[in-house]
Amino acid sequence: MTDSVHLACLYMKERPGLRRFLTRMTGSLGMADDLIQDTFLRVLEKEGGMGGVRDPRAYLRRSARNLAINALTAQRRNADITDMPETADPAPGAVERMIARQDLLLVMRTIAGLPEKRRQVFIMSRVDDLSYNQIAARLGISRNTVMVQIVRALSDLRKALEM
């Protein structure tokens, strides 16, 4: 059997196992297929082919594993570089600060304008970070009443911000 026929038979036999192995290793079916091609290209380019290899299956698996490690390392290195911003984020401009300040004032006015019980429940929940059960116990109301007041307060805030 010629080397190319032998290699084609080896490819057909070992490809499914290599594909499973590399997919588990890389988490990507596409990358696994690329690595299988690279592995067999290396064998084709290797002087003497697979002639001097005692265990072709182990050789292919080791070669594929090494290629996968190299590819994952390069991918990680490239991801680290591309994730970094080119320049530091600039501080918000005067217009953005003014809009944020206006929104904050609107939220504070809306909270101040809520009915007493609703405002009290909302502040205890969002500012004091109390649970609904704790608020209910402190105010002597049911947990459901607390939930209703929170929903209504959020609805009032949403309406105010939409205007």
Distances (CA, A) of 96 to 42, 75, 100, 145: 57, 37, 6, 37
- At the topology level, CATH places domain 94-162 in Arc Repressor Mutant, subunit A (1.10.10)
pTM of the model: 0.46
Express each pLDDT in 64-112 by its tens digit.
999 999 988 888 887 766 555 555 556 667 777 777 788 778 888 888 8
What pLDDT does 90 receive?
62
Cβ(119)–Cβ(153) below 8 Å? yes
Percentage of residues of the chain with pLDDT beyond 70 = 84
- At the topology level, CATH places domain 3-83 in Rna Polymerase Sigma Factor; Chain: A (1.10.1740)
Structure tokens at 90: 């600039």
Express each pLDDT in 50-61 by its tens digit.
667 788 888 889
Q: Residue type for 130, please? A: L
Q: Domain segments of the chain: what residues?
A: 3-83, 94-162
